[in-house]
Every structure is written in C-alpha cells, then in structure tokens.
Amino acid sequence: MNKYILMFLALLCTTQAVAFPQAGKAVPEAGNGYSLLTPAQPTHSGKKIEVLEFFFYGCSHCFKLHPLLKAWEKKMPKDVMLTKVPATFDPAWEPMTYTFYALQKLGKQQQMEDALYNVWNASNIQQMDETLTTDFVAQHGVDRAAFNAAYNAPDIKAQVANSKKMMQDYNIRGTPSLIVDGKYLISGLQSEDTIRILNAVIAKARKERAAKKR
C-alpha cells in the first residue's frame, strides 16, 4: 500500500478516538457520546432496534472495538439487530468490501472476521487486491473457487454499491461508526465508551418505540 493510503487510514482512524462522553451519565445527551442524524433514515429491522456498524478491517480503532462488540453481540438484547456495513472511503478499500459480502454469501464471514482484522492490524499485511485476499481466505479453509465466484457475482457488486450509498445517506465520516435506529450516530469514542453509549442509546430508542405504541 502506498504512503498516501496509509496516511488516509491513519487520519480516519485517529479522528475516531478524540471525543469522550461526560462521565457518570446514565442516559447520555446528544453531543456527549452520540449525535442526531438529520434527516433520520428508515430502518429495515422491523420490530427490532436496528444497529448498523460501519467498519474497515484495516482501521486500528475498529480492531480494538471488534472483540468488545463481538462479546456484546453474543449477549445482545433480543429486540436488537446488528448489521455490519463495510466502509469504502477510497477505491483501494473496495477489495475488502467485496470480500466481506462474498464471505457473507458463503456463510463464512463470522468465521473469517478475526483473521482479517488480525492480518491487517497485528501482522500489518494489507489485503488490497482480489488475488492476495483469495490466497488468504483459502489458507483459512474457504473454498477458492467458491470465493472467486461469489466475489465476482453481480449481486455482490450491487451490495458494494449499496454500502457506498448507505455511507452517504448516514453521513459516515470515519470508522468505526454505529447507527442506532436510523437516527443516532455513535463515533469518536474509545472502545469501552462506545459499548457503554451504545447500550444507553438502545435503551433510549426502546423507550421511544414504546411511547409511539401508546
């Protein structure tokens, strides 16, 4: 990867760990841990509270958040649905977006996510082209031919285009960024604070949904 892409990665990730919520607040206020999306976006989770995670495997802050969010997901409330959305801020990031959706199509995304985060952040080996990534996933037990077919499938191309549109719709400026129920954006926090604010905002969204039913 050239030095300009590395600088771009560093800038996007660094800006995601500079804001901190006020300590001791059980229910955070807008501007202290989260911001309001204007306009709010429609959700696709039905009766469940939607949580979107915009991420990039090469982002160091996504890497730090990943184990905490993974543990949180295992205990996630039954009325919450988490959807991961790979971010593509630069054409050089597209292979990872294609990789995510190809692995998801094959039912291998969860199996591979730890390895992909580790190769980028622990081993510092960037997966910036289809051939390199194909070799990598094949080494981890993913069928090479099946992965290539999924990677180049028309529906995967459509999903990549849709993820880019979502980034624009939700005004995503860096990773990691979490969107709760189409209207709350959580970003710029340390990993532990992100989980704490996520739980608080979900509780807020739950109360708002209940109030609408009255």
User: Torsion angle, CA of 119/125/126/130, rounded to 10 degrees?
Assistant: -80
Q: Considering only CA atoms, which of 156, 202, 198, 194 is closest in space to residue 49?
A: 202
CA distance 131 to 95: 10
Q: What is the total residue count of the chain? A: 214
CA distance 94 to 181: 26
Structure tokens at 195: 């989980």
Side-chain-facing half-sphere of 205: CA atoms under 13 Å: 26
Look over the chain and give the mean of its residue pLDDT values, rounded to a whole number.
89
Diameter over CA atoms, the chain: 56
CA distance 104 to 29: 35
User: For domain 33-207, which architecture applies?
Assistant: 3-Layer(aba) Sandwich (3.40)
Instruction: Count CB neighbours of 207 within 10 A.
Output: 11
What is the per-residue pLDDT for 32?
75
* Sequence ranges of the domains in the chain: 33-207
User: Torsion angle, CA of 36/38/44/50, rounded to 10 degrees?
Assistant: -10
What is the per-residue pLDDT for 130?
93
Taking the CA atoms of 106, 109, 111 and 115 in sequence, report the sign of the dihedral they define: positive
CA distance 71 to 123: 23
**Predicted TM-score (pTM) of this structure:** 0.88
Q: Write out the chain's pLDDT in tens, 214 residues.
A: 454 444 445 445 544 444 444 444 445 667 678 999 999 999 999 999 999 999 999 999 999 999 999 999 999 999 999 999 999 999 999 999 999 999 999 999 999 999 999 999 999 999 889 999 999 999 999 999 999 999 999 999 999 999 999 999 999 999 999 999 999 999 999 999 999 999 999 999 999 999 988 7
